[in-house]
Structure 1
Amino acid sequence: MLTYRRKLLAASSLHSRYSRACVSEVVARWTRALKTSAAVAAASQSSEAVNQAFQPACATSASPPSPWDRLNLDDAATRAPIAYKYIPHLPYHTGLKLQEALVQRRVAMMDEAEKSATSGQKDLNIGQGPSSRLPIDVILLLQHDPVYTGGRRIRGASSASEGLRLRELTGADYHETLRGGQLTYHGPGQLVGYPILALTTKGGYGYSEEMRKMGRLPVRCYVSLLEHMMINVAARYGIPASVTQNTGVWVPGKSRVTELKDENKIGAIGIHLTHNVTSHGFALNCTTDLSYFDQIIACGLPDKGATSIAVETPIWKDYQSLLPNGTTPGEVFVEAVVPVVVDEMEKVLARKLVNLDASDDSAWKTGRSAADLESIEESFEDIRDLIQRTLY
């Protein structure tokens, strides 16, 4: 594990060198894009058109390959895809309820797969076994209403008065949770990801034969993959993010004009595990109102600050000026970051991600048999129904 950590630290160093070299090119390309984006906005007064104009200038990340380089997207069609859904606004308590329902579903399907294996049936993986229902993993991508959350490390230690204080100061809700970590903030402008993934290969995790021999993806390695993903996303916006001795993804204070702390967190991670199925996950600050972090000691680190893609990206003000009247800039920008996160998640997990709201897109279907496609679509429909019942 220490060897793996050293590899990741070395990778993050390469990220920083890439970012410094790339920043000037990114700004130059976005500046050129600005000259034409006014015409784009005039042609179509829609946030979608503006989002398209402001996709990262670096079409693909130039970062090092994932430390799990044997997990290759070239043969991702032989593994179960991952379904994902983006929800623009979701109260935190509803998000907890939805995660719990999806985790219960995934654990039940793992149990089914294990029983089938012990009874002599083939494993429920792509290209193997019956085409009833495949054990599909899910990733929820969303924005929460303003809320402070406390993790396991302070669960029960924070008094009701702390929640009351924060509500009076900011109007935000307060919840204690089972995720790892301490106190943090979620709100509009922050892209939160809740991967509901089986870390054991027994339930059809969909990894390569080498991973299947391991039997289980170690939790620390899973956390590192999430960190690696957010570093890649930041690099695509020209931001020199890296990992440190503290969990999460950090940007050096000297990288920005506004002086805060020596290190500022741009991406947070806090996970929970139920029978080898993950919940909770990561939070990437896109256009987050960072003043909410001023009311707390985020993650129990008094000498650290918080930052966002908007703060670290010089083009942000120009982006806002192009939006149609009545559009909320932060929300639109988060929607533009979603496909970037999806792309980088595919790379670190070496699995295809399929949008539940657009699963008819044929790109992910290449190389799969008709029986597999039918099974996957049935699983997608099960997940859609579960989300619909839970939310409404």
Structure 2
Amino acid sequence: MDLAFRRLGFHPDVVDYAEALDIQRRLHAEVLADESPSTVLLLEHEDVYTAGRRTEPEDRPRDGTPVVDVDRGGKITWHGRGQLVGYPILKLAERAMVKGYVAALEEIIIRVLDQEFGLRSTTVEGRSGVWMTDGPRDRKIAAIGLRVHRSVTMHGFALNCSNSLAPFENIIPCGIADADTTTISAEVGTEVTPADIVDPIAAQLAAELPRFLSVTENIAAAEGVLS
């Protein structure tokens, strides 16, 4: 089967979180059963807070805003307009590949930020995601949170493009109190939307992710899967 890409919706046609989660779960079952190819879902969400399994009570919104509890790793975060979200539903060749897969997602984002905008982002030891570290406080520009069940992945990454940072001030994002969040737009000084960056992100995902897939899948050339 081929590695496939599906674009579920971008502003103004943003996607409800519950709807996207249902699509992920159904697709996970189909990929596990070899009824669908490993597939990357790309989208922009309606505004929502989601809490991973390690979320503590003190991490949650200070004003009591509702939170969707989910089965991914990590702590609480926010998704919404102006943020590019990617959910790769992949059948990994080996469960032991998870660490390398996470590193690949981080490296893809780092590479695109550098090539497209000249932004020098990086990883931070002991912290997931992608960071800007050239100021007095580190600034998180992309978050990663996964679930792997029977070697098939769910959830994925969220890259801050042109979204407001105000929602992050209402929580302790990812449980990290000694750092800030940022967006591509804030770093480059001009608006960069998810639609502006989805093509280079998709191209890099298509080039890098096939090496993690089960050998039972027939991986197509990137030219054929970027629709």
Q: Please, which runs of 5 or more residues in structure 1 have no aligned partner? A: 1-79, 110-132, 168-172, 201-214, 255-260, 320-329, 352-361, 366-379, 381-392
**For residue 130 of structure 2, what is the amino acid of its counterpart?**
V
1:290 positional shift: 0.6
Contact kept, 8 Å, 1:228 with 1:348, in 2: the verdict is no
1:280 positional shift: 0.3
User: 1:238 aligns to what?
Assistant: 118
Counting aligned pairs with the same residue, the percent is 34
User: 2:148 aligned with 1:273, yes or no?
Assistant: yes
Contact kept, 8 Å, 1:166 with 1:295, in 2: the verdict is no
Aligned residue pairs total: 209
1:340 positional shift: 1.1
Deviations 1:20-45 (A, max 9, x none): xxxxxxxxxxxxxxxxxxxxxxxxxx
User: 2:83 aligned with 1:158, yes or no?
Assistant: no
Higher strand residue share: 2
Matches of 1:295 and 1:142 in 2, distance apart?
Answer: 24
Matches of 2:187 and 2:73 in 1, distance apart?
Answer: 27
User: 2:177 aligned with 1:302, yes or no?
Assistant: yes
Among candidates 216, 219, 223, match of residue 98 of structure 2: 219
Among candidates 235, 238, 252, match of residue 133 of structure 2: 252
Matches of 1:303 and 1:199 in 2, distance apart?
Answer: 34
1:309 positional shift: 0.6
**For residue 133 of structure 2, what is the amino acid of its counterpart?**
P
Matches of 1:252 and 1:163 in 2, distance apart?
Answer: 26
**For residue 262 of structure 1, what is the amino acid of its counterpart?**
R
1:158 positional shift: 3.4
Matches of 2:5 and 2:150 in 1, distance apart?
Answer: 21
Among candidates 195, 199, 202, match of residue 342 of structure 1: 202
Superposed counterparts of 1:6-155, under 5 Å: 80-86=1-7, 87-88=9-10, 89-109=14-34, 136-154=37-55
Q: Note closer, same or farther for the CA distance 1:253–1:185 as it changes in structure 2 (3 Å cut).
A: farther
Q: Note closer, same or farther for the CA distance 1:311–1:275 as it changes in structure 2 (3 Å cut).
A: same
For the pair shown, the structure with the greater C-alpha radius of gyration is 1
Among candidates 154, 161, 182, match of residue 286 of structure 1: 161
**For residue 2 of structure 2, what is the amino acid of its counterpart?**
P
Provide the secondary structure at the position in 2 that maps to 1:287.
Answer: coil
Q: Please, which runs of 5 or more residues in structure 2 have no aligned partner? A: 212-221
Contact kept, 8 Å, 2:44 with 2:80, in 1: the verdict is yes
Contact kept, 8 Å, 2:75 with 2:175, in 1: the verdict is yes
Higher helix residue share: 1
| Cα RMSD after superposing both structures | 2.3
1:339 positional shift: 0.2
